[in-house]
Structure 1
Amino acid sequence: MLLVDSHCHLDSLDFVALHQNVDDVLAKAKARDVGYVLAVATTLPGYQAMTQLIGTRDDVAFSCGVHPLNLEEGYDYAELRRLAAAEQVVALGETGLDYFYQKDNIPLQQESFRQHIRIGRELNKPVIIHTRDARIDTLAILREENAQECGGVLHCFTEDLATAKTLLDLGLYISFSGIVTFRNAEQLREVARYVPLDRILVETDSPYLAPVPHRGKENQPAYVRDVAEYLAVLKGVSLETLAETTTANFLRLFHLKLSSFA
Structure 2
Amino acid sequence: MFVDSHCHLDKLKLTKSHGIDHVLNEARAAQVEHMLCIGVTLDDFHEMQSIVGSHSEVSFSCGVHPLYVAKHGFNEQGLRDLCKREDVVAVGETGLDYYYDKEHHRIQQDSFACHVDIATTLKKPLIIHTRDARSDTIDILRNGHAERCGGVMHCFTESLEMAEQAMDLGFYISISGIATFANAKELREVVRHIPLERLLIETDSPWLAPVPYRGKENQPGYVQHVAQCVAELKDVGVDEVAATTRHNFYHLFGVQPTPLASES
Correspondence for 1:150: 149
Q: Which runs of 5+ in 1 are unaligned?
A: none
Shift of 1:103: 2.2
Shift of 1:102: 1.2
Measure, in 1, the Cα distance between the counterparts of 2:208 and 2:53. Answer: 26
The answer to whether the Cα contact below 8 Å between 1:92 and 1:120 also exists between their aligned partners in 2 is: yes
Instruction: Pick from 45, 58, 61 the counterpart of residue 47 of structure 1.
Output: 45
Correspondence for 2:79: 80
Correspondence for 2:54: 56
Measure, in 1, the Cα distance between the counterparts of 2:62 and 2:178. Answer: 24
Residue 25 of structure 1 pairs with residue 11 of structure 2? no
| TM-score, normalising length: structure 2 | 0.95
| Number of residue equivalences | 260
Residue 199 of structure 1 pairs with residue 198 of structure 2? yes
The answer to whether the Cα contact below 8 Å between 1:4 and 1:247 also exists between their aligned partners in 2 is: yes
Q: Give the residue type in structure 1 aligned to 2:13.
A: D
Shift of 1:225: 0.6
**Closer, same or farther in 2 for the Cα pair 1:260/1:142, shift >3 Å?**
farther
1:158-197 matches, cutoff 5 A:
158-197=157-196
Measure, in 2, the Cα distance between the counterparts of 1:261 and 1:213. Answer: 25
The answer to whether the Cα contact below 8 Å between 1:58 and 1:260 also exists between their aligned partners in 2 is: no
The answer to whether the Cα contact below 8 Å between 2:7 and 2:204 also exists between their aligned partners in 1 is: yes
The answer to whether the Cα contact below 8 Å between 2:2 and 2:31 also exists between their aligned partners in 1 is: yes
The answer to whether the Cα contact below 8 Å between 1:203 and 1:224 also exists between their aligned partners in 2 is: yes
Q: Which runs of 5+ in 2 are unaligned?
A: none
SS at match of 1:226: helix
| TM-score, normalising length: structure 1 | 0.96
Measure, in 2, the Cα distance between the counterparts of 1:50 and 1:256. Answer: 19
Shift of 1:240: 1.1
**Closer, same or farther in 2 for the Cα pair 1:209/1:235, shift >3 Å?**
same
Measure, in 2, the Cα distance between the counterparts of 1:224 and 1:62. Answer: 18
Q: Give the residue type in structure 2 aligned to 1:70.
A: Y
Q: Give the residue type in structure 1 aligned to 2:106.
A: P
Correspondence for 2:249: 250
Correspondence for 1:129: 128
Shift of 1:168: 1.4
- What RMSD over aligned residues (CA atoms) do the two structures have, in Å? 1.3
